[in-house]
């Protein structure tokens, strides 16, 4: 398999086949937002990759390259990694949409300075971004998106036979189109709140001009925060519908990558 013979014969060949199958699955899990978060130990991802690879090896006639460390074998591994990263990146783009909306809303409310360490991504993000991210995660798990996505990863072995298929430019363009749609969705989520905040800021500015003795900063910041919280409460059904559409759209676009 790799130019070395340990004397185990078919058992050794099956072992390298198993590791070859784990390449695509492991890349997909690393790129996915739920499984690739910093809070998930690497050992858990390896165990999940191995468990899924066992089923893939039993369900599909996957054949590893005869020489895994040769040039053709390395190219096959690169193709497997690209396919797995593409399937995981679709989910990553979907989960980034509410974070963009939260940044826009937080900046309008004056809460952009209120940031905390996100245990999922390991970076600092706005408080509203963490809230939207948790809600989207609950929605995604509630509709069974994690199960559907794993089934798509398994299905990819039929559409893209290991070692003989690459992601075409047309399929990669689907990811760009989906990313553009997610930016529009983020803007649609933030637009109702931003419009109300704009009205509050205009009214605050008029009051500040008509009564210069008032402290504009002490008046504008609490008014913006209260108006933003009120707008979030009123638009909660709309935001929940948008998050559900994002979760379903992520699965739809992941399946579109596998369409012939």
Q: What is the pLDDT of residues 229-260, one digit of tens each?
A: 888 888 788 888 888 888 888 888 888 888 76
The kind and range of the H/E element at 115 are strand 115-117
Task: Specify the 3-state DSSP secondary structure of 42.
Answer: helix
46: containing domain: 10-257
Residue 1: per-residue pLDDT? 45
DSSP 31: H
The pair of three-digit structure tokens given for residue 178, joined into one six-digit string = 């989906």
CA distances from 109 to 106, 128, 197, 225 (A): 5, 11, 7, 5
In a domain, 84, yes or no: yes
pLDDT band for position 200 (cuts 50, 70, 90):
confident
Q: Check residues 122 and 204 and name the one with the higher pLDDT.
A: 204
Q: What is the domain count for the chain? A: 1
Q: Check residues 93 and 223 and name the one with the higher pLDDT.
A: 93
Q: Where are the beta strands (DSSP E) in 153-206?
A: none
Q: Check residues 227 and 11 and name the one with the higher pLDDT.
A: 227
Euclidean distance between CA atoms 199 and 189, whole angstroms: 17
DSSP 93: H
Q: What is the mean pLDDT of the chain?
A: 79
Is residue 250 exposed (0-12), middle (13-18) or buried (19+ Cβ within 10 Å)? Answer: buried
Mean pLDDT for 179-193 is: 85
Give me the percent of the chain exceeding a pLDDT of 70: 82
- Report whether pLDDT(4) > 60: no
Residue 9: per-residue pLDDT? 56
Residue 2: per-residue pLDDT? 47
Residue 39: per-residue pLDDT? 73
**pLDDT tens-place string over residues 13-28:** 777 788 888 888 888 8
Place of tokens 């460390």: 69
Residue 125: per-residue pLDDT? 61
Residues in contact with 132: Cβ distance below 8 Å, sequence separation at least 6, in sequence order: 98, 99, 101, 102, 239, 243
Phi first, then psi: give them for residue 241, nearest 5 degrees.
-65, -40
Q: Where are the beta strands (DSSP E) in 12-114?
A: none
Buried b vs exposed e over 30-64: b needs ≥16 C-beta within 10 Å? bbbbbbbeeebeeeebeebbeebbeebbeeeebeb
pLDDT band for position 214 (cuts 50, 70, 90):
low
- Report whether pLDDT(146) > 80: yes
DSSP 213: T
Angle, helices 71-109 vs 10-31, to 10°: value is 20
Mean pLDDT for 18-47 is: 84
Mean pLDDT for 191-198 is: 84
């Amino acid at each position: 398999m790799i130019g070395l013979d340990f004397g185990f014969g078919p058992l050794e060949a099956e072992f390298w086949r198993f590791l070859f199958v784990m390449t695509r699955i492991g890349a997909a899990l690393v790129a996915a937002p739920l499984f690739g978060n910093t809070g998930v130990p690497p050992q858990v991802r390896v165990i999940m990759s191995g468990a899924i690879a066992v089923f893939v090896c039993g369900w599909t006639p996957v054949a590893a390259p005869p020489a895994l460390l040769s040039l053709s074998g390395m190219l096959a591994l690169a193709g497997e990694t690209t396919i797995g990263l593409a399937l995981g990146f679709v989910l990553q783009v979907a989960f980034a949409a509410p974070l963009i909306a939260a940044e826009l809303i937080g900046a309008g409310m004056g809460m952009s300075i209120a940031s905390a360490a996100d245990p999922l991504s390991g970076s600092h993000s706005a408080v509203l971004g963490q809230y939207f991210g948790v809600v989207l995660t609950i929605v995604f798990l509630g509709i069974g998106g994690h199960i559907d996505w794993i089934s798509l990863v398994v299905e990819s072995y039929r559409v893209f036979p290991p070692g003989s298929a690459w992601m075409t430019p047309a399929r990669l363009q689907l990811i760009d189109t989906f990313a553009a749609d997610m930016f529009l969705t983020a803007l649609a989520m933030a637009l109702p709140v931003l419009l109300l905040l704009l009205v509050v800021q205009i009214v605050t500015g008029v009051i500040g001009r008509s009564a210069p003795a008032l402290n504009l900063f002490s008046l504008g910041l609490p008014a913006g925060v209260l108006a933003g919280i009120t707008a979030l409460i009123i638009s909660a059904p709309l935001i929940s519908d948008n998050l559900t559409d994002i979760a379903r759209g992520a699965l739809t676009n992941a399946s579109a990558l596998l369409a012939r």
